[in-house]
Amino acid sequence: MKVRVVTDSTSDLPPEVARDLGITVVPAQVQFGDQVFLDGIELTSEEFYRRLQSESTLPKTSPASISTFNSTYRRIAEEADGIISIHVVAKLSVTYDIARQASADVKCPVIVIDSQTASMACGLLAIIAAKAARAGESLTEIEKLVRQAIPCTVTYGVFGTLEYLAKGGRIGKGQAFLGTLLKINPILAIRMSEVVPVERVRTRSRAVERMCEMVCGHAPLRELSVMRTTNPEEAEEVIRRLSPVFPPERMYRASIGPSMGTQVGPNAVGVALIAEKPLQ
């Protein structure tokens, strides 16, 4: 049985990884004023963050349409026996619902999964699905594999500013102002559909160090990715810190694209992982 894997651009999958594993990435749309771009195709991350910091209004992001998803599924169905489609947490986006509606009249089975997470944590779930598909696993077996991995999956993030989370409605403006005033660096996590504050740390360096300690505490790890918005040097430092618990050559380096970048803003760094066992 030939199974193909689909995800959306909020997964922040590096293009070369998606290409090598045969994962189809459906791009979201990013709108600056009257200009609309396809996420990851018509707008580079560097240009996005430049505009994000220089323009007065926050860009708008929207998922691909039902017709775009449907045409993607129909095209893949011409050569596949089954499709597994893994998407950003449904609580934060309508992408999952759109994909589910689009899958209704495709000639091969399409299983749509709410990853219950975002960015490269969703990407890692797509990766393990694609590896299983390449190994010849059935659609049912791959679905089971992904659903069992979701409770083992978490994303951690450290932010340069709380401004964009406030503008996007993820936290209150008062919280953002107070956090900036007190120079608080929050560590946030996305797990099992919930965005939760994990700790509040006074210095950036300690926040990054503490995030790495949390990640190390989840070892042994099955998959891991380090993500960043505008500071690749800091991401490399995170990779160095995590090397005792996971081989650097197996870590995926990812750039947080426009879909997630609109929320987290510049100077953010994060880690996504799938542990060997469900997280407590």
Task: Flag whether 128 is in a domain.
Answer: yes
What percentage of the chain carries pLDDT values higher than 70?
Answer: 92
Mind listing the pLDDT tens digit for each residue in 94-144?
999 999 999 998 999 999 999 999 999 999 999 999 999 999 999 999 999
Q: Is the pLDDT of residue 271 over 70?
A: yes
Confidence of residue 273 (pLDDT cuts 50, 70, 90): very high
Q: Which pair of tokens denotes residue 128?
A: 């393990």
> What DSSP string runs through 32-98?
ETTEEEEBTTTB-HHHHHHHHHHSSSPPEEEPPPHHHHHHHHHHHHTT-SEEEEEES-TTT-SHHHH
- Whether residues 81 and 174 fall in one domain: no
- Which residues, other chains included, contact 181 with Cβ-Cβ below 8 Å and sequence gap of 6+? none
227-252 burial: b if 16+ Cβ within 10 Å, else e = bbbbeeebbebbbebbeebbeeeebb
CATH code (residue 162): 3.30.1180.10
Specify the pLDDT at position 174. Answer: 37
- Whether residues 202 and 238 fall in one domain: yes
Task: Flag whether 186 is in a domain.
Answer: yes
- Whether residues 105 and 196 fall in one domain: no
What is the pTM (predicted TM-score) of this model?
Answer: 0.93
Pairing of strands 3-8, 82-87: parallel
- Whether residues 42 and 164 fall in one domain: no
CATH code (residue 14): 3.40.50.10170
H/E stretch holding 171 reads none
- Whether residues 134 and 179 fall in one domain: no
The DSSP secondary-structure symbol of 267 reads S
- Whether residues 139 and 44 fall in one domain: yes
In 3D, which of 174, 187, 182, 201 has the Cα closest to residue 264?
187
Structural domain total, the chain: 2
Residue type, 93: S
Task: Flag whether 110 is in a domain.
Answer: yes
Task: Flag whether 280 is in a domain.
Answer: no
- Whether residues 120 and 168 fall in one domain: no
- Whether residues 189 and 136 fall in one domain: no
Q: Which pair of tokens denotes residue 104?
A: 């209704």
- Whether residues 144 and 180 fall in one domain: no
Domain stop point among 150, 176, 204: 150
- Whether residues 90 and 175 fall in one domain: no
- Whether residues 106 and 203 fall in one domain: no
Domain stop point among 93, 127, 150: 150
Q: Which residue has the higher pLDDT, 160 or 258?
A: 258
Structural domain harbouring 260? 152-275
- Whether residues 144 and 179 fall in one domain: no
Q: How far apart are CA 96 and CA 100, in angstroms?
A: 6
Mind listing the pLDDT tens digit for each residue in 151-208?
999 999 998 776 766 655 544 443 443 444 346 788 889 999 988 888 888 889 999 9
Domain stop point among 99, 130, 150: 150
Task: Flag whether 207 is in a domain.
Answer: yes
Q: List Cβ<8 Å contacts ≥24 apart for 197-202.
A: 198/156
H/E stretch holding 203 reads none
